[in-house]
């Protein structure tokens, strides 16, 4: 679930492009016959923000068969009440469409929730202390795994094996950074992986070294595979539990649909994502354990398999599992100094970042994927990487023609002057995120743009309005993954996925976005608290 904090200057401008470019597509839904016209549930005395421009607000909603039957005034809805209709009467509470998180690593995120928690750590001592505590619960030889750390929170110094070796002499340690593009290993883990001063950097990755040339413990992008190849494998049972754990966590935050871009990264095996599809998601569906909707993206190198899957099932296996398309990477991340820029990093004049894939190979696979009707999502963070992708889309459109492809650039974090305007040329989706699966926090961040400890906004002209921020997490996010026919707004015929907030009026909500939801409903049924 982690990816870099969306706090860069050009990023919010790109987010506006998403929030203002959404078009709803017709949804083939037939209202129930007259004898079946009564609702299963009526929501009353609510302040409903529908995210539907045809009717932005309402105070009542009827639900039948898990879908919105009618939304409007209570007078227009009450005729749908029957003997068995449940009426949920609120006190003016704000109701929003269920949030959509457009970029998660869902199963890995669920695993991380049960490991060493380093998200939010703000000092070296706290970092070391949490690892030391985890070691106490392990037998010698067992791996210590965790992640979520952000060195910016404690002044920028990167962790190293030297931080860990004294407290974990008998346990290999691997702790990933919040962006998933860097991690730190202790010396025992590097010894097991065969990493020493003579180990060469792999293509698309870096082994960070000390001034003496020894590995520091930090591995960037494809170099992380050296450790991943020797970490004990996670069982299907553990990954299934991780899915359930991640689902509960998302529902607690009001998220009812996620776009899972999988576990693949440059240099890694493509099979892990496919195994998760077969052994985790399809298992959960067959056992009726799916409680959140997922839209799945698969590694681009396997585009032909994805195309076959689309031919067999279309875009949806069920109301729970939807097929998105293919995912690829062009560069690394900012925090690991591997995002690809036109100019070198400050203090590191020879480092422009990493291009993690051969560009011609990326172009050819993109052309084939696009020609097969698959949606393409490519990771780009640095300004040069984004410019390269924008140029590539021009070539794809020239060769494959104009169509509704909704090409996605994941993160679109740093843009050169003029680049933001280029997204609109071919309807490119700027898929931007904050690092945690917390939409209400993300909405506040987009509206106020105040980094921790700041009194004034950073580049206040790029703040989003409340309406733009809400649409970016609902209607626009649904459009970005071809699910706008089914979710994203509280419109007749769409799934009745919604959240109830503690705010009891729109004025109260708009003057202070709350930090939590009161309840989350999926298909008209309460999913949180369960």
Identify the pLDDT of residue 1: 38
pLDDT-derived band at 14 (thresholds 50, 70, 90) equals very low
Strands 60-64, 57-58: parallel, antiparallel or unpaired by DSSP?
A: unpaired
Binning pLDDT at 50, 70 and 90, where does residue 26 land? very low
Domains of the chain: residue spans and CATH: 106-229 (3.10.310.70), 236-488 (3.20.20.140)
Give the Cα separation of 12 and 211 in Å (integer). 38
pLDDT at 32: 53
Task: Give the pLDDT confidence score for residue 37 in this predicted structure.
Answer: 81
* Whole-number Å distance between alpha carbons of 13 and 18: 9
Is residue 22 scored above 80 in pLDDT?
A: no
Confidence class for position 523, pLDDT limits 50, 70, 90:
very high
Cis peptide, bond prior to residue 257, ω within 30 of zero: no
Residues 149-169 have a mean pLDDT of 95
pLDDT tens sequence across 289-330: 999 999 999 999 999 999 999 999 999 999 999 999 999 999
**pLDDT grade, residue 179 (50/70/90)?**
confident
Least confident segment among 31-40, 128-137, 286-295: 31-40
Q: Look at residue 204 in the predicted model and tell me its pLDDT.
A: 87
Scanning 314-418, the segments in alpha helix (DSSP H) are 359-371, 383-400
Q: What is the structure's pLDDT at 434?
A: 87
What pLDDT, in 10s, does the model give residues 64-76? 999 999 999 999 9
| Residue 43 near residue 59 (C-beta atoms within 8 A) | no
Confidence of residue 228 (pLDDT cuts 50, 70, 90): very high
Q: Which of 246, 242, 247, 243 minimizes the C-alpha distance to 527?
A: 247
Q: Give residue 65's pLDDT.
A: 97
Q: How confident is the model at residue 13 (pLDDT cuts 50, 70, 90)?
A: very low
Q: Please report the pLDDT score of residue 512 as a whole number.
A: 95
How far apart CA 20 and CA 464 sit, in angstroms, is 11
Pairing of strands 519-522, 498-500: antiparallel
Q: What is the pLDDT of residue 25?
A: 37
DSSP 263: S
**CB count in 10 Å sphere of residue 380:** 26
Residue burial 112-138, b: 16+ Cβ < 10 Å; e: rest: beebbebbebeeeeebbebbeebbeee
8-state DSSP, 116: E
Average pLDDT of the chain to the nearest whole number: 92
Residue 29 has a pLDDT of 52
pLDDT score, position 30: 53
What is the pLDDT confidence band of residue 8, given thresholds at 50, 70 and 90?
Answer: very low
pLDDT tens across 248-276, in order? 999 999 999 999 999 988 878 899 999 99
pLDDT surpassing 70 at residue 58: yes
Q: Is the pLDDT of residue 87 over 90?
A: yes
pLDDT interval class at 31 (50, 70, 90): low
Q: How far apart are CA 79 and CA 263, in angstroms?
A: 49
DSSP-H helix ranges across 216-260: 225-228, 236-252
Backbone φ, ψ for residue 55 (5° rounding): -155, 85
User: Does residue 36 carry a pLDDT above 80?
Assistant: no
Partners of residue 499 on adjacent β-strands: 96, 520
- Look at residue 269 in the predicted model and tell me its pLDDT: 87
> pLDDT tens for residues 365-417?
999 999 999 999 999 999 999 999 999 999 999 999 999 999 999 999 999 99
10: pLDDT confidence band, cut at 50, 70 and 90?
Answer: very low
Q: Pick the closest to residue 259 from 157, 113, 372, 410 (CA basis).
A: 410
Vertex 318: Cα angle to 315 and 322 (nearest 5): 40
pLDDT in tens, 407-461: 999 999 999 999 999 999 999 999 998 878 999 999 999 999 997 778 899 999 9
Cα 148 to Cα 331: distance, rounded to the nearest angstrom: 20
Place of tokens 């001063």: 197
Q: Flag whether pLDDT at 149 surpasses 60.
A: yes
CA distances from 158 to 21, 141, 184, 466 (A): 40, 25, 9, 36
């Amino acid at each position: 679930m982690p990816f870099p904090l969306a706090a860069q200057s050009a990023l919010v401008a790109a987010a506006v492009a998403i929030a203002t470019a959404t078009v709803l597509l017709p949804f083939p839904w037939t209202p129930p016959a007259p004898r079946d016209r009564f609702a299963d549930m009526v929501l009353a005395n609510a302040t409903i923000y529908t995210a539907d421009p045809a009717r932005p607000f309402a105070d009542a909603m009827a639900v039948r068969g898990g879908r919105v039957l009618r939304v409007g005034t209570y007078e227009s809805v009450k005729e749908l009440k029957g003997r068995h209709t449940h009426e949920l009467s609120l006190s003016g509470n704000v109701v929003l469409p269920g949030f959509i998180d457009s970029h998660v690593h869902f199963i890995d995120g669920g695993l991380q929730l049960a490991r060493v928690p380093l998200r939010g750590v703000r000092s070296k001592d706290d970092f070391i202390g949490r690892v030391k505590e985890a070691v106490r619960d392990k037998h010698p030889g067992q791996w210590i795994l965790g992640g979520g750390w952000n060195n910016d929170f404690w002044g920028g110094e990167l962790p190293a094996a030297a931080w860990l070796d004294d407290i974990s002499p008998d346990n290999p340690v691997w702790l990933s950074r919040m962006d998933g593009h860097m991690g730190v290993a202790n010396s025992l883990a590097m010894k097991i992986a065969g990493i020493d001063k003579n180990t060469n950097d792999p293509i698309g990755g870096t082994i960070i070294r000390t001034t003496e040339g020894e590995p520091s413990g930090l591995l960037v992008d494809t170099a992380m595979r050296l450790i991943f190849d020797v970490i004990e494998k996670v069982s299907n049972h553990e990954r299934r539990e991780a899915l359930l754990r991640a689902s509960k966590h998302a529902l607690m935050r009001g998220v009812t649909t996620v776009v899972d871009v999988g576990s693949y990264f440059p240099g890694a095996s493509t099979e892990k994502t496919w195994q998760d599809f077969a052994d985790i998601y399809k298992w959960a569906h067959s056992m009726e354990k799916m409680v959140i909707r997922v839209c799945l993206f698969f590694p681009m190198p396997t585009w032909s398999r994805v195309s076959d899957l689309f031919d067999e099932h279309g875009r949806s296996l069920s109301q729970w599992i939807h097929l998105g398309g293919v995912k690829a990477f062009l560069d690394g991340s900012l925090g690991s100094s591997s995002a690809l820029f036109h100019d070198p990093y400050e203090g590191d004049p020879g480092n422009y970042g990493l291009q993690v894939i051969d560009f011609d190979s990326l172009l050819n696979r993109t052309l084939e994927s696009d020609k097969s009707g698959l949606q393409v999502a490519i990771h780009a963070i640095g300004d040069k990487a984004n410019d390269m992708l924008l140029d590539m889309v021009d070539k794809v459109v020239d060769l494959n023609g104009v169509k509704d492809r909704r090409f996605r650039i994941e993160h679109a974090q740093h843009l050169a002057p003029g680049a933001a305007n280029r997204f609109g040329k071919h309807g490119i989706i700027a898929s931007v995120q904050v690092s945690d699966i917390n939409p209400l926090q993300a909405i506040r961040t987009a509206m106020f743009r105040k980094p921790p400890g700041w009194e004034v906004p950073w580049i206040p002209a790029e703040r989003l309005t409340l309406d733009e921020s809400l649409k970016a997490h609902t209607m626009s996010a649904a459009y970005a993954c071809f699910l706008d026919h089914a979710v994203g707004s509280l419109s007749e015929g769409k799934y009745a996925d919604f959240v109830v907030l503690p705010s009891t009026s729109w004025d109260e909500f708009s003057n202070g976005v709350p930090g939590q939801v009161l309840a989350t409903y999926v298909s008209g049924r309460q999913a949180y608290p369960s």
